[in-house]
Amino acid sequence: MYGLRQLLEQVEDARDEPVTSAGRVAAAVFFCGLLRIRSFNALEPKLAEKPFLHLVGAPAQRDRLCSADTLSRSLRGVVLDSVRSIAVAMLAKAERNKVFREGWFGALRYVALDGWEPICSFHRHCPHCLVRLVEVKQRDGTVVKVEQYYHRYVVALLIDDRLDLALDIEPLLPSDLRPDGGTEDDEDEGELTAAKRLLRRVKKTYPWLDVVVADGLYPNGPFLTLIRELRMGSVIIIRNEGHEPLREATHIWGDQRAQQTFVDEQARERIELWDCPDLETLESYKGPIRVVRGRVTDLRQSDQAPHTWCMVVTGKATKLSAEQILRVGRGRWHIENTGFHQWTKLWKFAHVFTHHGNGILALYWLFFAAFNLLTLFLYLQVRCYGRDRGKDVTLSARTGDRGFLRVRPAG
């Protein structure tokens, strides 16, 4: 369906006349992610097994594909566009096949943005590492500040009631690698800076996306203006009660009762909603803003306090009802649960397979392609997958660890 073999063969790297082509290295890394092998050292024995050699398309006369060091060296020199195109081509094919035709609420397609920090170390570092000072307690009880090296990214995830897919990833750059020509004396990039760069590329690559969903870091004028320029809508969580326009909406609502109250029998929740449209109190953003507040009470745990959600809504998303906006805002957790949690706990993505800026990005693009391919298969072919089985959206993926994903000899 997706022409995986042809896509992998198009991968290029900077090695001169390699014995193992970049395409076969990419295939080995792709199946390392798909089979959830915990490291390149754990993968190395499989590089000499006939079933795995057949899987990656190695010549019949080869008794070994390559070493783990060769995998890392190839990833460090990979042309990023050549590995990124694999995941992009898969999603483009899925879109042409009308996988996303129905959309979610309002027939809109939603992309969640959030920061992700999979790698940190006190010892290993590369030129692309970010650096921060953290307090560490010594054996004698004293507390000292030491440098910690880490890689942080902004990830774009397509979210849906049933289907969550990795769309793109953008690194936060250290001060000396910033596009604006920063120096070592400047600060490293912030999440918002990388998110703006990512969102422009995401919209250009996937023009059918409609609404941005994000957390409390993002409801500011410059970011909302970028969303408007890209002709998208937004549903963004707002947490600071003193932040405009939430402060204005809170003043308008005052002590009045909820404008809408109902019970969600399936979730066993009582939901109260307040809605305030067409606010124009944010000086750094020119345009109307809608604010929705939802108070959710879990009827199964009546002794717990209700949880309150406040969302800033702009653009295409303003046509949604207050109930739909609340569900979309709460759906932002898909990127935390189905994305970061699952990738770290089930897919081994947080292991340091290689410590190099280009190599890590190349690895994640191949791993994202593996994640997307399996997700598409499970949702579209295994009808009892994910949310059809309740709230445990990773059930079938975890079941795969017990035999669904195995390398079997041909025939």
Asked if 203 contacts 223 with a C-beta cutoff of 8 angstroms, the reply is: no
For the range 346-349, what are the long-range contacts, defined as Cβ-Cβ under 8 Å and sequence gap of 24 or more? 346/36, 346/394, 346/397, 346/398, 346/401, 347/33, 347/36, 347/371, 348/33, 348/36, 348/37, 348/38, 348/39, 349/33, 349/118
The pLDDT score that the predictor gives to residue 178 is 74
Distance CA 120, CA 132 (A): 10
Residue 124 lies in a domain: no
The pLDDT score that the predictor gives to residue 410 is 39
The pLDDT score that the predictor gives to residue 239 is 87
CB atoms near residue 296 (< 10 Å) = 17
Distances (CA, A) of 57 to 37, 72, 261, 410: 19, 19, 59, 12
> Which residues have CB under 8 Å from 308's CB, separation 6+?
293, 294, 295, 296
Enumerate helices (H) and strands (E) in the chain, giving the number of each: 14, 10
Residue 377, token pair as written in the block: 């298969």
Distances (CA, A) of 404 to 260, 342, 374: 46, 17, 11
Of the candidates 237, 275, 236, the residue with the CA atom closest to the CA atom of residue 259: 275
Of the candidates 277, 173, 283, the residue with the CA atom closest to the CA atom of residue 220: 283
Residue 72 lies in a domain: no
User: Tens digit of pLDDT for each residue in 319-363?
Assistant: 999 999 999 999 999 999 889 998 998 888 889 999 899 999 999
Q: Torsion angle, CA of 83/86/89/90, rounded to 10 degrees?
A: -150
Residue 278's H or E segment, with its range, is strand 269-279
255: domain range?
216-331
pTM: predicted TM-score of the whole model, two decimal places: 0.88
Distance CA 93, CA 108 (A): 19
Measured in degrees and rounded to the nearest 5, phi and psi for residue 310 equal -125, 130
In the chain, which residues have pLDDT < 70?
A: 180-186, 382-411
The pLDDT score that the predictor gives to residue 302 is 77
Residue 13 lies in a domain: no
Residue 47 DSSP one-character state? G
Residue 322 lies in a domain: yes
Residue 288, token pair as written in the block: 């109307």
Residue 110 lies in a domain: no
Residue 207 lies in a domain: no
Distance CA 200, CA 226 (A): 8
Of the candidates 151, 144, 143, 156, the residue with the CA atom closest to the CA atom of residue 173: 151
The pLDDT score that the predictor gives to residue 401 is 44
CB atoms near residue 96 (< 10 Å) = 8
User: Dmax of the chain from CA atoms?
Assistant: 78
User: Tens digit of pLDDT for each residue in 122-160?
Assistant: 888 888 899 999 988 888 889 999 999 999 999 999 998
3-state SS, one letter per residue, for 117-184: EEEEECCCCCCCCEEEEEEEECCCCCEEEEEEEEEEEEEEEEECCCCCEEEEEEECCCHHHCCCCCCC
Overall number of domains in the chain: 1
Residue 295 lies in a domain: yes
> Which residues have CB under 8 Å from 266's CB, separation 6+?
none
Measured in degrees and rounded to the nearest 5, phi and psi for residue 404 equal -65, -40
Asked if 20 contacts 65 with a C-beta cutoff of 8 angstroms, the reply is: yes
Residue 321 lies in a domain: yes
User: 């369906």: which residue's tokens?
Assistant: 1
The pLDDT score that the predictor gives to residue 360 is 94
